[in-house]
Amino acid sequence: MTGEVLRARSVTRKFGDFTAVDSMSMTVAPGEVVGLLGANGAGKTTLIRMLLGLLAATEGAVELLGGPPDRTRRARMGYVPQNLGLYRDLTVEENLAFSAEAYGVPVPGVPAELHDARNTLVRELALGSQRQVAFVVALAHEPNVLVLDEPTSGVDALSRARLWDTIRQQADNGVGVLVTTHYMEEAQQCDRLLLMSSGQLVGAGSEDDIIGDTRAVAVHTPEWAQAFAALNDAGIPVILDGRAIRVPDTDPATIDSVLDSAGIAADIRPVRATIEERMLVLARAGAHG
């Protein structure tokens, strides 16, 4: 198919006085996997719900498969919401049969890994297996667009890799995919990224584009615990990753001075920020501004 599968044109959604999505524009083309990033509450789910016609926009317009997200177009999309949208009191097979009936398509096969669980109630399955069922349900009618809201949240690494194989296969077959994630390794598997903060689009493109000129400082010291405490006490946005200390968006001289005052010798090196650090900087700017 040609043309974008999803498009938002300056779309805004307000809840009372609160603006959850603020004049957001974006697209997803067939065959691409677009990652939608943003801290909790950034507006990702609200945007998705508008794109899929599940929530009205306050201003602006959305397009699903080239037009308004009406019933006919919605029948050509697959959606795995955060809560999975499965019938928890039905078995795996009953869920597959029910959704196939609703779409008027043949009942999909139960994946081999879930064969032994085919007669188990969905609510009794591990979260990873539930997510797999939700994927099978979402894909049964061969949608042209796939929207996945944190599809691998809370699942183990193997199930996550499996779900990503499925996502990539779908894109290779021409499906346009929009996926929200909190895992940065997953963001790196996307063809393109969109970063939202406080309802707005604040970055787009590759990982490098998203990070922009945000810098961080890496602090190495055997006294890492004391260094972390000293920086934290000074109100500096410090991140502990194992024993490595990272400080986004802060002047190395400030860090030097805090550690010096605390009597801690450290190697202080300016480095490029990560996507998470960029998000932390944005979240702090939002909270303070």
- Give me the residues that bind ligand ATP (CB under 6 A), please: 15, 18, 20, 38, 40-46
CB of 182 to ligand ATP, least distance (A): 7
Nearer to ligand ATP, 20 or 34 (CB): 20
Nearer to ligand ATP, 6 or 245 (CB): 6
CB of 45 to ligand ATP, least distance (A): 3
CB of 150 to ligand ATP, least distance (A): 7
Nearer to ligand ATP, 58 or 254 (CB): 58
Nearer to ligand ATP, 42 or 133 (CB): 42
Per residue, what are the HEC states of the chain?
A: CCCCCEEEEEEEEEECCEEEEEEEEEEECCCCEEEEECCCCCCHHHHHHHHCCCCCCCEEEEEECCECCCHHHHCCEEEECCCCCCCCCCEHHHHHHHHHHHHCCCCCCCCHHHHHHCCCEHHHCCHHHHHHHHHHHHHCCCCCEEEEECCCCCCCHHHHHHHHHHHHHHHHCCCEEEEECCCHHHHCCCCEEEEEECCEEEEEECHHHHHCCCEEEEEECCCHHHHHHHHHHCCCCCEEECCEEEEECCCHHHHHHHHHHCCCCCEEEEEECCHHHHHHHHHHHHHHC
- In the chain, what is the straight-line distance between the N-terminal and C-terminal CA atoms, in Å? 43
Nearer to ligand ATP, 150 or 259 (CB): 150
CB of 85 to ligand ATP, least distance (A): 15
CB of 38 to ligand ATP, least distance (A): 5
Nearer to ligand ATP, 13 or 141 (CB): 13
CB of 196 to ligand ATP, least distance (A): 7
